[in-house]
Amino acid sequence: MAGLRLGLSHSLAEALPDQYAPAEPTPAPRAHRVAYNTVLATELGWDTAVADHAEALFSGNRLPADAHPIALAYAGHQFGNFVPLLGDGRAILLGERLDSAGRLRDVQLKGAGRTPFSRGGDGRAALGPVLREYLVSEAMHALGIPTTRALAAVLTGEQIHRPQGRVPGAVLTRVASSHLRIGSLQLWSAQGDTIRLKQLADYVLARHYPAAQTTPQPYLSLLEAIIARQAELVAGWQAVGFVHGVMNTDNTSLAGETLDYGPCAFLDTYDPSAVFSSIDRGGRYAYQRQPALMHWNLTRLAETLLPLLDPNPERATALAYTALDTFIPHYETAWHARFRVKLGLSTQQPDDGTLIQEFLALLHASHSDFTQGFLALNAAAQHHTHPLLDAWTQQPNANTWLTRWRDRLSRETDPLSRLQASNPRIIPRNGWVEHALRAATEQLDFEPFHRLLAAVTQPLTEHPAHRDYETPPPAQGRAPYVTFCGT
Ligand code: AMP
Ligand code: MG
């Protein structure tokens, strides 16, 4: 297999020589393949020769002959505090691959050992978080939300040290439109290096926003386009009850994909103030704060781009504010569109916002499960009985709301199909993710992981074998769910 090639190119390394440091993967003593995404591999145009060598290739043991392994440099605001240099401390970019649809995709190994940016870290990833990212990123893709993808998960055969003790190490192969983040630009703006800032902005324009390149003000158009994509992304998160948990600027992708699944979780019971991450003590990244925090991140992005917007600082600032002001209307349009179809509606009415908000308030007051709540609308539309309907009608305004909503539905064609197509049966519920991760980490039993993966990648399908995953596991209990970052 010496000389195996993956058809990789290296546009970033060629265009941006200062954006990275070379970094070789550290071999894994006993690589063992846990999961391999054949559908994604096919999308990338890779045949069975790649699949046959997946264990060696995606553990970092065999470097493809055409790899140019690097770790990217970036800065970032973490929980509001600026860190001038972070970088890929445990991720190595092998190169880029032009997929069968003509899109350039990054191929990155996460957990393949130390890099020049590792500082005190071991450069490794624990099996649990690797499998969480695999499950949740593939679920997000199946739910129609832009995201990085998971190609492979391989055990390294090593135990690594984490606060909870010794745990199995693993490597995740992540595929992304790119791994550039707001923090990648912040690296240069913090140093006042406008030349490198412009080189990177030009690269982002060419790779991700070619339409913005040909406008009269390409950098302003770039800012506006990123704002629009991020507004749509967060609306997508809200619509499935996803809580990212660590919306730092180094985790905000310039391509508009969900990036970094460290402490993420999903709402079970609808609670807008829900926070799951152990390190998010102030609730900075709570469910309901995600749009505002994305706006905060985009404001940091606008600041980095100021020198490119206009040579006159006042004019540059005015342009930046004008662009930032488009975030809320973009977000609201996207949010209304997402939630309108979740209510089975295709037509727009001036009071849609109220109708949606009142339903969410009803879910909140009745302590309903978010995902089940939207599924119950199917029964409600047909005047069938449903346990959640009984809970709703205990609330003072439930019947008024149901009457108004049914009246709207009666003027729709085929609202039942729309309800079914817009409301997932299956999300990667925290309790089930934990259950699968525990079996994998404690017993190296991957059967629960594969069963859950099969279910969450067909979120709309009603399947007897997946029924359990439609609700939290029975043993979940009432203890609040907590996730841990960077472990
Ligand atoms: P994250 O919390 O995954 O966004 O990571 C924040 C920063 O810490 C990034 O620069 C990571 O590369 C780095 N980092 C996290 N875990 C490790 C590790 N085990 N070894 C080295 N660097 C790490
Ligand atoms: Mg990160």
Q: Where are the domains of the chain?
A: 8-176, 336-422
CA dihedral of residues 174, 243, 476, 384 (deg, nearest 10): -110
CB burial string 166-203: b at 16+ within 10 A, e below: ebbbbbbbbbbbbbbbbbbbbbbbbeeeeebbebbbbb
- Distance, C-alpha 486 to centroid of its chain: 15
Q: Considering every ligand atom, which ligand is closest to the CA of 263? A: 1
**Token digits of residue 243:** 């809580």
* pTM across the whole model: 0.97
**What's the pLDDT at 148?**
98
Q: Considering every ligand atom, which ligand is closest to the CA of 262? A: 1
Nearest protein Cα to ligand 1, atom 8: 89
192 Cα–ligand 1 center, Å: 25
Q: Nearest to residue 108, comparing CAs of 62, 55, 69, 147? A: 69
Question: Is residue 412 within 8 Å of residue 377, measured between CB atoms?
Answer: no
How many CB atoms neighbour CB 35 within 10 A? 23
Question: Is residue 4 within 8 Å of residue 64, measured between CB atoms?
Answer: yes
Q: Considering every ligand atom, which ligand is closest to the CA of 118? A: 1
**Token digits of residue 470:** 């439609």
Instruction: Determine the straight-line distance between the first and last CA of the chain, rounded to whole angstroms.
Output: 34
How many CB atoms neighbour CB 373 within 10 A? 24
331 Cα–ligand 2 center, Å: 24
Q: Please state, in angstroms and rounded to a whole number, the distance separating the CA atoms of residues 145 and 239.
A: 10
Q: Is the CB of 29 under 6 A from ligand 1?
A: no
Q: Nearest to residue 254, comparing CAs of 106, 118, 110, 68? A: 106
Name the β-bridge partners of 167. Answer: 160
Q: Please state, in angstroms and rounded to a whole number, the distance separating the CA atoms of residues 103 and 97.
A: 8
486 Cα–ligand 1 center, Å: 6
Q: Which of ligand 1's atoms lies nearest the C-alpha of 87?
A: 10
Question: Is residue 104 within 8 Å of residue 420, measured between CB atoms?
Answer: no
**φ and ψ at 288, to 5 degrees?**
-75, -15
Q: For each of the chain's 487 residues, which pLDDT tens digit applies?
A: 458 999 999 999 999 999 999 999 999 999 999 999 999 999 999 999 999 999 999 999 999 999 999 999 999 999 999 999 999 999 999 999 999 999 999 999 999 999 999 999 999 999 999 999 999 999 999 999 999 999 999 999 999 999 989 999 999 999 999 999 999 999 999 999 999 999 999 999 999 999 999 999 999 999 999 999 999 999 999 999 999 999 999 999 999 999 999 999 999 999 999 999 999 988 999 999 999 999 999 999 999 999 999 999 999 999 999 999 999 999 999 999 999 999 999 999 999 999 999 999 999 999 999 999 999 999 999 999 999 999 999 999 999 999 999 999 999 999 999 999 999 999 999 999 999 999 999 999 999 999 999 999 999 999 999 999 999 999 766 677 888 765 4
Nearest protein Cα to ligand 1, atom 16: 486
Q: For a substitution probing ligand 1, which of 72, 86, 172 has the most ligand atoms within 8 Å of its CB? A: 86
Which uninterrupted H or E stretch holds 292? helix 290-309
Size (the chain), residues: 487
CB contact set of 357 (below 8 Å; sequence gap of 6+): none
Question: Is residue 241 within 8 Å of residue 427, measured between CB atoms?
Answer: yes
**What's the pLDDT at 481?**
87
Q: Is the CB of 251 under 6 A from ligand 1?
A: yes
Q: Catalytic: which of 88, 106, 250, 260?
A: 250
DSSP 71-105: EE---EEETTEEES----SSEEEEEEEE-TTS-EE
Residues with CB under 5 Å of ion ligand 2 are: 251, 260
Q: Is the CB of 264 under 6 A from ligand 1?
A: no
Q: For a substitution probing ligand 1, which of 72, 86, 90 has the most ligand atoms within 8 Å of its CB? A: 90
Question: Is residue 229 within 8 Å of residue 449, measured between CB atoms?
Answer: no
Q: Please state, in angstroms and rounded to a whole number, the distance separating the CA atoms of residues 340 and 422.
A: 9
Please indicate whether residue 250 is annotated as part of the active site: yes
Q: Please state, in angstroms and rounded to a whole number, the distance separating the CA atoms of residues 145 and 424.
A: 12
344 Cα–ligand 1 center, Å: 42
How many CB atoms neighbour CB 425 within 10 A? 19
